[in-house]
Amino acid sequence: MSMEVTAWTSLYHAMHATGDKRPFSWATVRRMARFARPHRRRLGWFLLLSVLTAVLTVATPILAGRVVDAIMQSRPLDVVAWLAGLIAVIALVEAVLQLVVRWISAQIGEGLILDLRSAVFDHVQRMPVAFFTRTRTGALVSRLNNDVIGAQRAFSDTLSGVVSNLVTLLITLVVMVNLSWQITLLTLILLPLFVIPARRMGSRLAGLTLESTQHDAAMSTQMTERFSAPGATLVKLFGRPSDESAEFTRRAARVRDIGVRIAMSQQIFVTALTLVSALALALVYGLGGYFALNGTLQAGAVVSLALLLTRLYAPLTALASARVEMMTALVSFQRVFEVLDLEPLIQEPAEPKAVPDGPVAVEFDDVHFGYPSADRFSLASLEEVATLDNRGGAEVLHGLSFRAEPGQLIALVGSSGAGKSTIAQLLPRLYDVDTGAVRLGGVDVRDLSLRSIRETIGMVTQDGHLFHESVRSNLLLARPEASEAELWDVLRRSRLEELIHSLPDGLDTIVGERGYRLSGGERQRLTIARLLLARQRVVILDEATAHLDSTSEAAVQEALNEALSGRTAVVIAHRLSTIRAADQILVIEAGHIVERGTHTELLSQGGRYEELYRTQFAGEDDALPVA
């Protein structure tokens, strides 16, 4: 390893050994050990071979000195050849060992990344919907990417580096002291000139790198928001494109300026340390040459000392940063464990039941509910705020009771914020009630397996969300084993068959982010097709036609004829004309059922429903069908 490479290595360690300094926690170390336990055999081989490699790195300088001594002493050619051959063999073995160590390191590192990412991803999927409404997506993705990779470095880089550098350092010191304790002492005196600038410059460069990363993140957020279909539309309609460009250019220019400063600081630092290293090397040759000419040191020893110099400085510099590197890795583990320690609000029952076969009744029995406060399911670091907003817990549903018999259609109407969508979220157990019970087929949803609930209840929301995937993939989300014929059947029943046939790639056409390549009505019909494919026995419609024009709404209503046929349905309606044929209409206000009955009965009472109905255009004839 050359002096310049040593300088770059020390700079790298110094730059990456800064970060969040949290208290050391043995509990975190124990949890790290649990994640590492499946890889313990590989870790053992990894450490053993790392030590062996470290030993071999010191052997070559010693043999090189022996070669010089053999030449100076006019030893037979076969001795020189044997030493040269041994150096070649050691180099070959060292190269092979480095490849093997790297392969094992990759196996351990990538295995840990897989384990950690899978654990976090699976855990996050169990979190309540409120978690996702508060969490910044980029911060959560960072836990799955940056922090997970930072955590695995504790094993694949830092741990092996500490072991191999410690072994290299000890062997090098022993050999150098044995060759010349005076020269070794002088080279150690020069060590602060090598380590201290590395730490100080590393901190400075780490700060610049962090600032650059923050600007990059801000640019990424700006691009993500402005380049999405709704974001781009908003900028075109209400934004100021010139101001947007100026802000982006300002941040990009700052990143450029920081990049220039980092590049020049790095080069100045490396040049300075290379100079210090060259001075140390000059000291070895000068003092060593003096001793050699006086006959107190062999010429080969001088060469060995010079070659061993980099084996001394590089591990010493790395070990100087090892503690902070390990703390940085611990912080990454702690940030990952923060997410894993969030307790999901919805737990699978110990002995889950299944929804009974056949038509399903839906029942709310004296349900009281208040949304949980943020400290029960969120993290300030994921929301990127200093303190969590812990407002919550206030009851929003007060003793609700109603029942939808199998095949009936129950409509929920009322003012915005009255609790209608909350009712819809309790039914598929997105939240648990505080008191009372929600039942499917006579069984409390808290006693049902989550899979059974998902297989029983289908929901169509007003935004008709689709993934940035193909039509086929979005449909198969409901039932992966569905055949081609079944896909086309549900498309026909949802009035989409002709449209999908006209697309460039048919079922394999990408629908775009959130399905924005399709119109609002087409997106809704595709979500209805997905519901039809799932064959769920209970359907929830949360204002599924609220934001559609009359033509799109008519097409969606035709698709809903298929979706509601033979199913128990709970419909949240904004347009009262669409639920006139409901078996029962519940008027919800402030978390209470204030009226219930059929459309005709409620109009005749002259109460809240009649008041709501009067405020709308009541001349529509597009009532939802009764199952």
DSSP letters, 406-465, are TT-EEEEEESTTSSHHHHHHHTTTSS--SEEEEEETTEEGGGB-HHHHHHHEEEEETT--
Beta strands in 464-553 (DSSP E): 538-542
CB neighbours (10 Å) of residue 366? 12
Q: Residue 153's closest CA among 331, 341, 337?
A: 331
Q: Which residue has the tokens 């949890």?
A: 31
Tokens for 620?
């529509």
> What is the number of alpha carbons within 13 Å of residue 266 lying toward its C-beta?
20
Please give the pLDDT value at position 6: 56
Please give the pLDDT value at position 554: 67
Residue 584 CA to residue 601 CA, distance in Å, equals: 10
Question: What amino acid is encoded at 195 in this protein?
Answer: V
Residue 584 CA to residue 8 CA, distance in Å, equals: 75
What pTM was computed for the model? 0.69
- Cite the DSSP H helix spans in 294-366: 299-340
The distance in angstroms from the start CA to the end CA of the chain is 79
Tokens for 96?
């092979």
Instruction: Give the β-pairing of 435-440 and 592-597.
Output: unpaired
Q: Residue 444's closest CA among 365, 372, 538?
A: 365
CB neighbours (10 Å) of residue 1? 12
Residue 303 CA to residue 65 CA, distance in Å, equals: 5
Q: Are 515 and 523 in contact (CB under 8 A)?
A: yes
Over the chain (627 residues), the average pLDDT of each successive run of 10 is 55 53 66 81 86 85 85 81 89 90 83 84 84 77 76 69 80 86 82 67 68 72 71 70 81 86 77 75 85 85 84 72 68 81 86 90 94 80 70 84 91 89 91 93 93 88 81 89 90 86 88 76 84 87 65 66 78 80 91 92 89 69 42
Residue ranges and CATH numbers for the domains of the chain are 3-340 (1.20.1560.10), 362-614 (3.40.50.300)
- Mention every residue, 6+ apart, whose C-beta is less than 8 A from residue 370: 392, 393, 394, 395, 396, 397, 434
CB neighbours (10 Å) of residue 589? 16
Residue 460 CA to residue 247 CA, distance in Å, equals: 39
Q: Are 437 and 404 in contact (CB under 8 A)?
A: no
Please give the pLDDT value at position 625: 43
CB neighbours (10 Å) of residue 382? 22
Please give the pLDDT value at position 93: 93
Residue 413 CA to residue 231 CA, distance in Å, equals: 31
Residue 356 CA to residue 456 CA, distance in Å, equals: 10
Q: How many residues does the chain have?
A: 627
Please give the pLDDT value at position 624: 42
| Ramachandran region, residue 219 (left: φ > 0; alpha: ψ -120 to 50; beta: rest) | alpha
